[in-house]
Structure 1
Amino acid sequence: MDDRRDDACWPVREAISAQLDGEASGLAETVMVRHLAACPGCRHWQEQAQQVTRRTRLTVAEAIPDVTFAVLTALPDPGPAAARQVRVRLGDLALRLTLLAVGVGQAALAVPSLTTGTGVMSAPTHVAHETGAWGLAVAVSFLAVAAAPRLAAGALPFLAAFTLLLTVLTVSDLTAGMVHVERAAGHLLVLAGVAAVSVLAWQGRSPGSWRPLLAGRSRA
């Protein structure tokens, strides 16, 4: 077959292949018929292509084993992990709501000292203002951790130290009869808040973040 015949045959054979595949041939039907009538090679090619296509369509596909069960069985069970994530999220939500309530309650105790200068204790105005400022600062700390739990680790040293000293002094004052039980009971809010902050700080810790400072220096 010369080059001119080859150039004329390829478009026709591509059009035949497209028709067998159910696609548009892109070539006029009259052009194909005229070429096939004059080209024995393309007629033979068309017959072979039709036979191959018919044989392929009539061939029964081999049965493929169903491996769905085996694949699903091999996958790790997401149940325990998913349940644990749900429990962790619910626990975090409960802690944050606790801190929200503690912060609001602590602010309610602190605001009177700032606004009236007396609050619930009979103290000089400036002392009452200082007490109110400290109480409001603690309330803001609780509310900040409730809004952004990542702040728990940073707020914990201040809150824990304040609560420890407050607890020791309150017990001492109760023993000496220098404070009313109702006033001392208000400090339970702070204890509950510090407990919630401690749990959030522990849950949000990163590996190696709790090592002692001296240990880090010795390795350096």
Structure 2
Amino acid sequence: MLSCEQIRAALSARLDGESPGIADDIIDAHLAGCSECKAFYDRAVALNDQLASDLVPLGEPSAMQPPDLADAILAEVEPQWRRSAANRAAFLAVARVVLALIAVIYVVWAVMILADSTVVQPIVAEGQPLPERADPALANLLVEAASVRLALALGLATAAWRPRLAAGLVPLVAALWTFGLGFAVRGIVLGALSAPQLAHLCLLAISALCLGMAWYFGPSGRTWQESWRTLGSRPY
């Protein structure tokens, strides 16, 4: 699969009268499905015509050798590429920082839950009665809740470290948020929505959003965009 950079290099070569190195039907099919490359080609053609008209002296034959316009075209288009790359890097950096912060919050939260579980955890000698505050079922639920938060912290930290892995966590976090939202609505109706439940729901929503940003603006996002554009190509 050809990238946009390869197609644009071939278009520049075509405008300069050189061999593009890629078949014309492949280039035209890509232009039909990629609005960015089509806009690049239109700008390059317009700039080529403008510079050619300025450089051809009056009275000279129109069939003269066209000048090398590669530098002028790159000078026109390169700032836009730089702005696009800078914007992508900024969004990716924000997503990674937020994911790392949420991972730290989940770790602290899990430690607090484990500390609470020790109060109701029934640790007694065999044959001895349970303490008054012992609640084995609640203790197991608290341990499981802490395990879920530690697992989320590990996944989010991994996505912040390697954004290309973020796509695998998006369905998981989105599913947790969806089920959590359903229980939150029930809690609102019954007047029993707790602050930890609401905080967990908000953290899941922010995590899903940042995971999507890390995937979209990271290295894997460009491959996904190019693959999607390829589906719209219509060869002659």
Instruction: Provide the TM-score with structure 2 as the length reference.
Output: 0.52
Aligned to 2:63: none
Q: 1:74 to 1:176 in 2, by over 3 A?
A: closer
Q: Is the 8 A contact 1:109 1:135 kept in 2?
A: yes
Q: Work out whether 1:191 is the aligned partner of 2:190.
A: no
* Distance (Å, rounded) in 2 between the aligned partners of 1:131 and 1:76: 56
Offset from partner CA, 1:139-197 (integer Å, 9 cap, x none): 21111101110111111111111121112112212321233235423431121111111
* Distance (Å, rounded) in 2 between the aligned partners of 1:128 and 1:201: 32
Within 5 Å, give how 1:47-196 maps onto structure 2. Answer: 72-77=71-76, 78-117=78-117, 124-181=138-195, 183-196=197-210
Between structure 1 and structure 2, the one with the greater Rg is 1
* Distance (Å, rounded) in 2 between the aligned partners of 1:210 and 1:168: 35
Which structure 2 segments of 5+ residues have no match? 1-66, 120-134, 229-236
* Distance (Å, rounded) in 2 between the aligned partners of 1:169 and 1:210: 38
Structural RMSD (CA): 3.0
Percentage of matched positions with identical amino acids:
19
- Higher alpha-carbon deviation: 147-156 or 186-195: 186-195
Q: Is the 8 A contact 2:176 2:204 kept in 1?
A: no
Q: 1:135 to 1:209 in 2, by over 3 A?
A: farther
Q: Which structure has more RCO (C-alpha within 8 Å, separation ≥ 6)?
A: 2
Q: 1:175 to 1:109 in 2, by over 3 A?
A: farther
* Distance (Å, rounded) in 2 between the aligned partners of 1:188 and 1:79: 38
Q: Offset at 1:131?
A: 0.8
Q: Is the 8 A contact 1:118 1:124 kept in 2?
A: no
SS of residue in 2 equivalent to 1:117: helix
Q: Is the 8 A contact 2:184 2:197 kept in 1?
A: no
Q: 1:130 to 1:210 in 2, by over 3 A?
A: farther
Which structure 1 segments of 5+ residues have no match? 1-67, 212-220
